[in-house]
Structure 1
Amino acid sequence: MNLPELGLGGGPLGNYLRAISDEEAEAVVAAAWEAGIRYFDTAPYYGLGLSERRLGRALRGLPRSSYLLSTKAGRLVRPGPGGERLFEVPGDRHAAWDFSRDGVLRSLEESLERLGLDRVDILLLHDPDHHWRQAVEEGFPALAELRSQGVVGAIGVGMNQSRMLVDFVNHTDPDVLLAANQLTLLRRTALEELVPLCASRGIRVVAGSVFHRGLLADPPLDAPPEVARMARACARHGVTLAGAAMRFPLRQPGVSSVLIGAHAPTLVKTNVEAFWQPVPEELWAELSA
């Protein structure tokens, strides 16, 4: 499958860090669609099912063949006290780790029910940092089984660290890896080994959290000195820092797509416009320095 260069990440649709309404979430997806985005990523963990439900409703009625959708497995949403500190959601449910074969199959079944769809295009194991053995011995073989049956088109792993993603490449056969907060202007850990390895194996890399938790999207007045220097360099070349942050991962061989998230439709429009703004080579040299 051809991954578009730009996709919409579903974390904010699950009330990541702050709550938005159902109507605002639908407006975000509508703005992404209007801006030409045709790749959407979500997960059961995002808002403990809220992101998947909202995304499914927003996509309802659109031709299923006209967009790509990825979700994840490894955390099952279960009733009972807990909540999640990163998401503004009620505390009457929680995420339960499960990378077993049955857990992966159950996760996909529940995701499809929340999404209101009969299939997803990409299924990823989600953050198996402390569950390597079960993920590699049970979880990934379950993904491979789903791929061989044609239930999903592509499989892989999504994580916030590069070391274990390299291990998955060396021990399994993923199609796609989602590297979150590892391919930013401030944090380039995926460039050391992961990206070259994936390029040599023909594995697609998707870059997530490219704004370094917002620092590179709208730098605050007390931003770290290196961020301020980057912002000034971009301004000298007539480029936004956010635009450079989104474009940076795609300069690396093997990186196919960048995911952006937004709590408001205006942010989607602004970021998409910045994404398509040309970045001169002279600026890349300055940012590298």
Structure 2
Amino acid sequence: MSTATGRPVRPVGGTGLAVTTLGFGAGPLGGLFDPVSDEDAHAALEAAWQAGVRYFDVAPHYGAGLAEQRLGAFLATKPREEYVVSTKVGRLLVDDTTIDTAQPQQDFRDGLAKRREWDFSAAGVRRSLEESLQRLGLDRVDVLYAHDPHGREEEVLATGLPELARMRQEGLVSAVGAGVDDVRMQLRFARSGLADVLLVAGRWTLLERSAGEELLPECLQRGIAVVVGGALNSGVLADPSPGARFDYAPAPEHVLAAARAQQEVCARHGCTLLRAALQFPLRHPAVVSVLVGVRSAAEARAAAADLAAQVPEQLWAEVEPFALPPRTAR
């Protein structure tokens, strides 16, 4: 299937939703690592829309609500029936005038003056959605994820996911799941029987393939859709130069070396590492979309072009030996 603009779409399990294979990851709109102006944020969104992107993923965490506000202002200009939007629960935002937004707040710059407070309770999940809808200016979102529940997975399994499932039954959302970079945790969420879709962050990439051993086959068997975030592993697969990030921190030398080896293979085939990295996740049948975080119109257009370009089939086998060992083996 494809959108009217020709961008491919894939169904999200049996939910009735379909998402474009290229999704817009709105983390940069909240100032992830570096600030983004209102003008650049809007331009990036408009360029992605013109390229056929119709799936947009955001979270309260991104700029403490700034990304949701910016995305909502943009989507107000578009027909509601033409796009799918997901946001996340688990962090409530509380006004805090003591916060210096010019200083990094959990990797975000120039966000809103709000304090993040963890809450995966039933009431907290519902409050989070209500406040996200206000920031987005929408009456509903399509997908809700439990966000980054490191150290809180028991609460998510006991109260968070069950409440999300009740909200789905009530028709407040069409699909629910979790977004986290922990494969073992995602396996538990998949086996709970409550998730329609899982956002797998940074664990099914050209370089880091830990999700391929158990999680993706489990999702395929259960009919759970997988959205891949962090396909560039925080940037090292865009440019494995010294200082590149991997998992939100400076990449260790062995990671840089592996990415460079993959880059050399790509170059031999007339392909960029970035292009291969964007296309790789979609080669698995469980994956329905790859989220790309962009901060400018040029980056949005480039991502769309890279995802549509041809990659020689032989390349995939040649880069595989340079992938990192699964995390369970490290």
TM-score range, shorter chain: over 0.9
Describe the superposition over 1:79-116 as per-residue Cα deviations: whole angstroms up to 9, x where unpaired.
22456231003583211000000100000000000000
Question: Distance in 1 between the 2:224 and 2:317 partners?
Answer: 27
Give the partner amino acid of 1:24.
D
Secondary structure at the counterpart of residue 125 of structure 1: strand
Alignment root-mean-square deviation, CA: 1.4
Q: CA deviation at 1:164?
A: 0.5
Are 1:70 and 2:86 counterparts? yes
Q: CA deviation at 1:139?
A: 1.0
Please list, as runs of the form range in 1=range in 2, the aligned pairs for 1:136-215 lying within 5 A after superposition. Answer: 136-215=157-236
Secondary structure at the counterpart of residue 72 of structure 1: strand
The answer (yes or no) to whether the contact 1:234–1:240 under 8 Å persists in 2 is: yes
Structure 1 runs of 4+ with >3 Å offset: none
Secondary structure at the counterpart of residue 177 of structure 1: strand
Question: Distance in 2 between the 1:92 and 1:204 partners?
Answer: 35
Decide which of 89, 113, 117 is 2:134's aligned counterpart: 113
Q: CA deviation at 1:225?
A: 2.0
Are 1:244 and 2:276 counterparts? yes
Q: CA deviation at 1:239?
A: 1.4
Decide which of 118, 143, 153 is 1:122's aligned counterpart: 143
Question: Distance in 2 between the 1:264 and 1:4 partners?
Answer: 20
User: What's 1:254 paired with?
Assistant: 286
Decide which of 98, 101, 121 is 1:100's aligned counterpart: 121
Deviates more, 1:279-288 or 1:108-117: 279-288
Secondary structure at the counterpart of residue 3 of structure 1: strand
Identity %: 46
Q: TM-score, normalised by structure 1?
A: 0.96
Give the partner amino acid of 1:25.
A
Q: CA deviation at 1:153?
A: 0.6
Name stretches of at least 5 consecutive residues in structure 2 with no aligned partner.
1-16, 245-255, 322-330
Give the partner amino acid of 2:315.
L
Are 1:131 and 2:131 counterparts? no
Q: CA deviation at 1:213?
A: 0.8
Question: Distance in 1 between the 2:233 and 2:57 partners?
Answer: 18
Q: CA deviation at 1:219?
A: 2.9
Secondary structure at the counterpart of residue 299 of structure 2: helix
Question: Distance in 1 between the 2:67 and 2:241 partners?
Answer: 27
Secondary structure at the counterpart of residue 187 of structure 1: coil
Question: Distance in 2 between the 1:90 and 1:170 partners?
Answer: 36
Question: Distance in 2 between the 1:271 and 1:193 partners?
Answer: 29
In structure 2, relative to structure 1, the CA distance for the partners of 1:100 and 1:246 (3 Å cut) is same
Q: CA deviation at 1:210?
A: 0.4
Q: TM-score, normalised by structure 2?
A: 0.85
